[in-house]
A and B are shown apart, each in its own frame.
Chain A
């Protein structure tokens, strides 16, 4: 790589050395000198609209805008002086000329950049006497509200929507002092509803339907955790407030840019936490009575009942007659514990989940190769990218954001092959359209194998250009499974510096596979038949024959061969269109937030906490492992983790054998539980009553994370970094899958969610509903998880 040229300059007497081409404002920031800026926003085009960033550069006639001035050798800069303060104060006075100053009721009050600057430069008086021009607040969409007089015309919203989102839904109309931000629909927005414009607005001109007039910034607690929706695993910082039933989430954002997703969140990560507060959320366990009705009861009764019935089935019919269905949205610790419970306590390998990508085939194909799995981060800097299938704009919004940013700011080359005309085509350097079932043929063609793909000129050039790339990252959709996936990965491994990522659908779909929520694989993809190490560790013999997959379990139930089915955070009845009669003779236990189609058929329904109400880790579809912190709380519900432990306990398993709490010194000492201590307190009472050591409880997911790290080598990542909020890539080099069966049923069923759907969970989100209604499309047929 060519050496980067640097320049030396002096700012406020400090010597700075910085790469040539750096903007003065960024150079100053790098040494801790903050220059006020309204219109400048890193990563977006330069606007030079607000003049707040003016500084004095020696030998230049007038004050210069630091946001548009690149550094130069020998520059001598002053960033604060009487003259500069006067100039900034003047700007503020003009900005405040028609500003309503309704800070006491404004959402931005307390974290408003205009407020901060006015405090700093003290433009409290005004020589401007004209009457203020008032305009009523407008609602542009279910998500976006606009309060025109508060707008300071910095154009950040216009640029983030256009350049960042490639939606171009906001514009500036008229001129001079009558300029106004305008939405593309005339009086409404027709857009992706991401809310980026709202969060980037330095003042309170753009506000969100979710948060407006609800609270003040300083009244909230803030917890950075992982979005519970798609497989990208964005970090979202949840603002919570105490309410009658625990603590309620009122805001989601990522202003600190600390996560894997940088600036980005889609509508789901920013606003779709609202399912938690629904009226019809389950908060009491339900048990089906002799009259056939589900009636509320106590936890003690419900758990006792579940334990007793499961024990009976195990005793009379054996583990083979029990099925377990796990979730795409529970933590790694919960998934791990669920498979442990299934194998160790229920004595069955009949465990599966709704699969959305063929991860086992991916890891088998990678064959222990190191550094060949692409992180979400790789898509923000790779010089070339290939996207095969999928529609990232709809299904992997953060990936789409990274791809767009990479193309825009690094001129990365995007190659696209799809059967549909997806939106990312606008960023593509080269694109080929293929038939919906032509992915296998395409990959064989690309890999230079015999293929029924008939290349035209475009395709030939496409392939040549790809092969000439010195460095490439590939993301592929669920179109690739089994043998096609193997071909793809084998080809990728022959390319220089190539990394791959499989695009699965939900927040912890990858984690479910990694943690062995599969009938044929234990955690870390150890074949079920070779579970000796696990059996030793668990201190119990484990079944070695691969179990039934989800479809086989349903078939078995239909034949009356499934005595019990334990469903954790999943809605298979809807997702797989299961007839109610199929489960008529099976004892069904469901853990969920709502009375889903599956829960309605259950014998016992246990009200579950959602991902925002628990701690642990999740793994996104790229294999990036991240920390989940408990943000909010709903009284009456329990985490799936706690429920599994309690049921195991009622089945006679020792809590210590389920969760190695108290073993070793690596367990969590409470620091990872996030802002709310309700859970810890509740546990403290139980722990004290049971003579357990406080803070090292059987409900401590980090005790299980210890065990995962011991038994799953690919999860041997730095806890220190994980706990400090970093994302750590799963170690594919430590996964070895010998004898991967060539004819293994992948059973992948893509969810085909859109920007505004999110499986079963999405159906319970008000904001997603409102957006879909406002677009007059009927909610897509979605189900499960």
Chain B
């Protein structure tokens, strides 16, 4: 059953229509739904919460309960490229904090999850991202940057900045 009015693109709306049919109970579709929505909208806005609640058939409060539990789900807009610097044990031992500070300094964002004025980047300190073998590790959106040094971080940031330029 498709929702009559949707804030999503036609493709995503169709995908979400299908998503809720894949599980024995509709609410199981909530987390993937929020992730897909977040990829398209940028974050889980109030409008996303409202639509997800209708699609899954639960209250908005219930959506928020889940949303606030997972740090990968965001309730505020972040940069187009979200730089997540791990500072958990392995990364911390191999300079995770230096990388975090470096990013913050270079981009001029000092609070956790701060966003650059141009909206391009945001920086967040995160717990283990499962890349301990290549510590220190950083995740930018869905990409990993491994064995990071300040120099390789700068290169990565430049690369993303290039990507954002209109071709």
Contacts and interface: CB of A to CB of B under 8 A. Distances in A.
A173 interface: yes
B61 interface: yes
A174 B68 contact: yes
A168 B59 contact: yes
B5 interface: no
Contacts of A172: 65
Interface string B58-78: 011110110011000000000
Contacts of A183: 61
B61 A182 contact: yes
A172 B59 CA distance: 13
A169 B64 CA distance: 12
B62 A168 contact: yes
Nearest to B62: A171
Contacts of B64: 171, 173, 182
Interface string A184-198: 100000000000000
Nearest to A174: B68
Interface in B104-156: none
B65 to A, nearest CB: 4
A169 B61 contact: yes
B59 A173 contact: no
Nearest to A173: B68
A170 B61 CA distance: 8
A168 B58 CA distance: 10
Contacts of A182: 61, 64-65
A175 interface: yes
Contacts of B69: 173-175
Contacts of A169: 61
A233 B81 CA distance: 62
Contacts of A171: 61-62, 64-65
Nearest to B63: A171
Interface string B8-32: 0000000000000000000000000
Interface string B31-72: 000000000000000000000000000011110110011000
A170 B65 CA distance: 10
A184 B61 CA distance: 5
A172 B67 CA distance: 11
**Residue from A169, A171, A183, A184 with most neighbouring chain B CB atoms (10 Å):** A171
Nearest to B58: A168
Interface in B68-112: 68-69
Contacts of A174: 68-69
A471 B59 CA distance: 35
B109 to A, nearest CB: 22
A168 B61 contact: yes
Contact of A175 (B59, B62, B68): B68
Nearest to B68: A173
A173 B60 contact: no
Contacts of B65: 171-173, 182
B113 to A, nearest CB: 15
Contacts of B62: 168, 171
A656 B69 CA distance: 72
A172 B62 CA distance: 8
A184 B68 contact: no
A183 B60 CA distance: 11
A200 to B, nearest CB: 18
Interface string A132-173: 000000000000000000000000000000000000111111
Interface in A479-502: none
Nearest to B67: A173
Contacts of B61: 168-171, 182-184
A727 to B, nearest CB: 35
Contacts of A173: 64-65, 68-69
A184 B64 CA distance: 9
A653 B64 CA distance: 70
A172 B64 CA distance: 9
A153 to B, nearest CB: 13
Contacts of B60: 184
A674 to B, nearest CB: 41
**Residue from B61, B64, B68 with most neighbouring chain A CB atoms (10 Å):** B61
Nearest to A158: B65
B45 to A, nearest CB: 14
A173 to B, nearest CB: 4
A621 B65 CA distance: 41
A172 B65 CA distance: 6
Nearest to A169: B61
A151 to B, nearest CB: 15
Nearest to A175: B69
Contacts of B68: 173-175
B35 to A, nearest CB: 17
A169 B62 CA distance: 9
A156 to B, nearest CB: 16
B127 to A, nearest CB: 11
B49 to A, nearest CB: 11
A366 B41 CA distance: 64
Nearest to A180: B68
A173 B62 CA distance: 9
A183 B64 CA distance: 11
A572 B62 CA distance: 46
Nearest to A167: B59
A172 B68 CA distance: 9
Nearest to B69: A175
Interface in A728-742: none
Contacts of A168: 59, 61-62
Nearest to A170: B61
Contacts of B59: 168, 184
B9 to A, nearest CB: 28
Contacts of A175: 68-69
Contacts of A170: 61
A240 B69 CA distance: 43
Contacts of A184: 59-61
Interface string A452-474: 00000000000000000000000
B100 to A, nearest CB: 21
A170 B62 CA distance: 9
B156 to A, nearest CB: 30
A172 B69 CA distance: 9
A169 B60 CA distance: 10
A170 B64 CA distance: 11
A735 B59 CA distance: 49
B162 to A, nearest CB: 37
18 contacts: A168-B59, A168-B61, A168-B62, A170-B61, A171-B64, A171-B65, A172-B65, A173-B64, A173-B65, A173-B68, A173-B69, A174-B68, A174-B69, A175-B68, A182-B61, A182-B65, A184-B60, A184-B61
**9 tightest Cβ-Cβ pairs between the two chains A and B:** A173-B68, A184-B61, A171-B65, A171-B61, A175-B69, A174-B68, A168-B59, A172-B65, A173-B65
Interface of B: 59-62, 64-65, 68-69
Given A171-B61, A171-B65, A184-B59, 8 more contacts: A168-B59, A168-B62, A169-B61, A173-B65, A175-B69, A182-B65, A183-B61, A184-B61
